[in-house]
A and B are shown apart, each in its own frame.
Chain A
Amino acid sequence: MSDPLDELLRERRVVICCGSGGVGKTTTSATLALRAALLGRRAVVCTIDPARRLANSLGIGELGNEVVQVDPSRFAAAGVEADGALFALMLDTKRTFDRLIERYTADPERRKAILNNKFYQQMSNTVVGSSDYMAMEKLYELSEEGDFDLIVLDTPPTKHALDFLQAPQRMKRAFDRSTLDIFLRPWAEVGKRSFGFIGRALGRVVKKVDDLIGMSFVTELAEFFQAFEGLYDGFRTRADRVDALLRDPGTSFVVVTAPQPLPLEEAGYFCERLREFEMDLSAVVVNRVEQSCLEDPSDLRARLDAAGHAAELEAAQAAAGDADPHLDAALGALLDQERLAKGDRERIEAFRAGPAAGVYLREVPRFTHDIYDLSGLVTLAGELFGGRP
């Protein structure tokens, strides 16, 4: 039987990696794309915020928002041969947003008005909030262009998984015309025209809110939305299409996590949400798993539970006969390692039986060195896919 992850990389067109920050999500995404390239596909990895050294080694260190081919000579240097090709891209939220505006605004005056608007600049620059949607947007763009067999998307480290999956819908809601009509038009036009009773009442609200936030902000906000007139439909249609792409049979999700309680908790939440949204959760990758040096660690586990760590360590040290501080230290290090491995094992088992039930789960051991170049990715691939690529 072939490796389920390999199957995924051969058959799908889009693989989306999600999980909390600091669990090796970017590295895992890059490794999946690398593996796909080794399997003969034309693969691109779209990363959000790669570590500088990884970005440099992929050749995207300086280039934001541009697809760059990873130099095939780097493969040879890392000791592998690729039948396909690997491309990489570092997402630039603001530029993606700007391009979206340019696409939907034919009138150069209006385009300028939007791009120079303070509110727009704030919104498109803030990493939180719009990066979720822009990652989706970039994915859609790449998918429409059709230059690649496989797109691997590394998602922003959103705290709330829901935000990311609902990004298209949320974007749509933010541009909902009725909301805008009620809350924005009168604000901007107060004092210019007289309204009926409702208009006057709203006018007072607006005046209050203005006092609160400051007129220039409200004006900027109103200008922003007014400049968006006519763009709403385009935006909303696009949000619908992005949503459809997320549910496409060619799209699948991989949840990346680490065996600590917090990342597992967030990963569990993610699995739940993906099921709820009926999106295809294909695999879970657990990175940095501490290893036991025992063939069968269950015996030690049982003894640790019964006698406790200090007692076990003392007994082992006593068994040596003569006191040797180096030996004591080595035994201490071993026991601590076994404790870490034990904790990881128990949490992963609980996760496998709980949130990840029925999903292919792959464990990757903790490496002694940080991974930041192509040979590092090749090493990781060796662990991720059962055999050497």
Chain B
Amino acid sequence: MLSVLDRRLLVVSGKGGVGKTMISAALARLAARGGKKVLLVNMEGQGRTAQLFGVDEITAEPRPLADGVWGALLDPKAVAFQFILRQLRVRRLVRHIVESNLFDAWFRVSPAIKEMICLGRVWSFTEDKSRWRKTPRWDLVVFDAPATGHGLGLLQLPEQASKLLLGPMRKHAVEVQAMLEDRERTGTVLVTLPEDLPVNEALHFHRELTGRLGMQLDLLVMNMAFPDRFDGEAPDLEQLLGSTAGRRSLERLLGSGCDREAAVAAVRASVARGERTRRYALELAEGTGQDVVQVPFVYAERFGLEELRVVEATLAQRLEGAS
């Protein structure tokens, strides 16, 4: 099986708040560790990417974030401007069009067009050449796709747009679609959580992607998986925490004001969350027929380089295990 990191472009999708930015960053670092030159592209959430890598900001111009990883920010309006400029060639005219109220309204109501132009721009990164040699500038482009909150989001846009448009825009849409469908070049990654709504949406995403769009899902990540504390066999917690040893260590940990009932309830809740994680992972695996790569919950108050390393290491392990 072709490893997911051996593609030229990875599109990372998922609802807002599932940790898409973290997983994108970890995949980029992982590929870079394998000796690749990687470009990580954000359309939003660039602040979080910057925080993860410990840099000040992500700019439109690619800049290094870590060994082998560069970051770039896509500004839809700027990308649209460049796209239209390439077609019309008259800068003043293009500025006039782009700054008009109507264009603004149209640009907002037809998200297909805005995001498709951006998707095209992301793809064009894979065709960038290094200045002196004719080799590709990036071995891999990881695209942290914007959260759409609904269904397939970005991935279905070219298909939609190619139905509606004609002329160069249609040509563009068709090209972008062909690029997305080429499994040799493009990989799709979906990030989800062990919760009711995200799991159902992931199942829906998979159905639509493999059915209607005729594409494949290459990597399914369940982020924030709760650990199985007792390897599937939870002991009698009342007894455990009520024993002399249990009481002593509880007091050491939580002080004399510790309410044992509450402590038992807290451990129970944690066990229940672990059970739910495994139940949802099973549901996902059965529903999609795919491996579910679980990334454990990271207990941290602020996500930075250290947490990113942990996630990267887990992904490395799971990806190796899967292939």
The answer to whether A and B interact is yes
Asked if B67 lies at the interface with its beta carbon under 8 angstroms from chain A, I say no
Which residues does chain B contribute within 8 Å of A157, judged by CB atoms?
16, 149
Q: Min CB distance, B262 to chain A, in Å?
A: 4
A143 within 8 A of B: no
Distance to closest chain B CB from A298 (angstroms): 10
B175 CB to closest chain A CB, in angstroms?
Answer: 15
**B100 at interface by CB-CB < 8 Å:** yes
Q: B258 near A327 (CB under 8 angstroms)?
A: no
Point out the residues of chain B lying under 8 angstroms from A312, CB to CB: 253
Query: Which chain B positions have C-beta within 8 A of A52?
Result: 200
> Which listed residue (A126, A291, A324) contacts B245, Cβ 8 A?
A324
Q: Please report which residues of chain B, range 29-76, place their CB below 8 angstroms from some CB of chain A when the two chains form the complex.
A: 44, 48
CA A263 – CA B251 in complex, angstroms? 35
Question: Count of B residues near A, CB < 8 Å?
Answer: 73
Q: Which of A163, A213, A221, A319 has the most CB of B within 10 A?
A: A213
A interface SS class:
helix
- Indicate if the CB atoms of B267 and A330 lie closer than 8 Å: yes
A313 cross-chain contacts in B, Cβ below 8 A: 253
B229 touches A212 (CB 8 A): no
Query: Is the beta-carbon distance between B254 and A368 smaller than 8 angstroms?
Result: no
**How many Å lie between the Cα of A344 and that of B103 in the bound state?**
42
A209 to B108 Cα, complex, angstroms: 18
Note all chain A residues with C-beta closer than 8 A to B108. Answer: 129, 163, 170
Is B293 located at the chain interface by the 8 A CB criterion? no
Known: A126-B112, A333-B229. A210 touches B167 (CB 8 A): yes
**Given A208-B88, A213-B167, A214-B167; A159-B270 close (CB under 8 Å):** no
Cross-chain contact A21 with B149 (CB below 8 angstroms): yes
Chain B residue numbers with a CB within 8 Å of A208 are 87-88, 93
- CB atoms of A212 and B84 under 8 A apart: yes
B289 to chain A, nearest CB (A): 22
A231 within 8 A of B: no
B271 at interface by CB-CB < 8 Å: yes
- Taking the complex as formed, is A99 at the interface, i.e. its CB lies under 8 A from any CB of chain B? no
- Which residue of A is nearest B197, CB measured? A51
Q: Is there an interface contact between B170 and A214, defined as CB atoms closer than 8 Å?
A: yes
Contacts A123-B109, A179-B102 known; 16 new A-B pairs at CB < 8 A: A22-B16, A22-B197, A129-B111, A130-B109, A159-B147, A174-B109, A213-B169, A214-B167, A216-B166, A217-B169, A293-B259, A319-B248, A326-B230, A330-B246, A330-B267, A370-B196
Sample (27) of A-B pairs whose CB atoms are under 8 Å apart? A20-B16, A20-B17, A21-B15, A21-B149, A123-B109, A127-B150, A129-B111, A157-B16, A173-B101, A174-B102, A184-B102, A212-B84, A213-B167, A293-B265, A293-B266, A294-B254, A294-B257, A315-B252, A316-B252, A316-B253, A319-B251, A322-B245, A324-B240, A326-B235, A327-B246, A331-B250, A334-B253
| Residues of A that sit less than 8 Å from B by CB | 20-22, 49, 51-53, 118, 122-123, 126-130, 157, 159, 163, 170, 173-174, 176, 179-180, 182-184, 205, 208-217, 221, 260-263, 291, 293-296, 299-300, 309, 312-313, 315-322, 324, 326-327, 329-340, 342-343, 346, 368, 370, 372
